Amino acid sequence: MSSRVFVKPDMEKYLFKGEVRYTQAIDQHLKMMRSIFCKQKGKVPAEEIYYLFIGERTDTGILVTELIDISGQRQESQVIISLVDVERVATEKWIMGTYHVHPVGSLEPSRADFLSSVAESAIAGHPLIHIIEDPDGGKLTWDFSQCFTSLFYRMMKDAG
């Protein structure tokens, strides 16, 4: 059995170049949720929250107009999302991306963040924008649009 090493990509290549804005109601909701789930900053049991978001393209980026909570079950302080929920939403709405909070403050995406972002984009059928925020509202926004076509071309070629 070979052991595989997970190598995180260089995030500079994948940072979303546009601006992400929220409607006033969504901005207030996210601030409230961060204050609830991150109130014990750096201490367990601070918990992650996880949303799919719907929105509109603007001249400078995107405007988030709707959040869909798919937080599901929790394991320790991490949320476990259901890809079945992502698929259900994708059949009803055009998902623009995902949003979640790292309650202990690090904006660095975990291995699970990378893997779920690829799976969610595959289910949606297009590259999604992924946002991670820390308890203070610091934000990392990325997408894999520049590698989406080649990744899925390779997967289809390998499958067929």
Structure confidence by residue, pLDDT tens digits, 138-155: 888 988 776 655 555 555
Q: In which order are the strands placed within the sheet that holds 97-101? A: 19-22, 61-69, 50-57, 97-101, 129-133, 139-143
Give the other-Cβ count within 10 Å of 87's Cβ: 12
Query: For 63, which DSSP code?
Result: E
**Residue bearing the bigger pLDDT, 24 or 84:** 24
Decide if 66 is inside a domain: yes
pLDDT at residue 95 greater than cutoff 70 = yes
**Locus of tokens 């390779």:** 154
Q: Pull the structure tokens for residue 130.
A: 């992924």
Give the other-Cβ count within 10 Å of 149's Cβ: 10
The tally of domains found in the chain comes to 1
Decide if 27 is inside a domain: yes
CA distances from 102 to 60, 76, 113, 133, 144 (A): 26, 13, 11, 6, 20
7-16, 50-59, 116-125: lowest mean pLDDT where? 7-16
Decide if 7 is inside a domain: no
Decide if 9 is inside a domain: no
Decide if 44 is inside a domain: yes
**Locus of tokens 């109130």:** 39
Dihedral sign of CA atoms 98, 79, 82, 27 in order: negative
The reported pLDDT for the residue numbered 6 is 46
pLDDT at residue 91 greater than cutoff 60 = yes
Domain residues for 111? 17-159
The reported pLDDT for the residue numbered 1 is 46
Decide if 12 is inside a domain: no
How far the first Cα of the chain sits from its last, in Å, is 25
The reported pLDDT for the residue numbered 89 is 92
Decide if 10 is inside a domain: no
What is the CATH classification number for the domain harbouring 40? 3.40.140.10
Give the HSE-up count for residue 117: Cα atoms under 13 Å, Cβ half-sphere. Answer: 26
Decide if 119 is inside a domain: yes
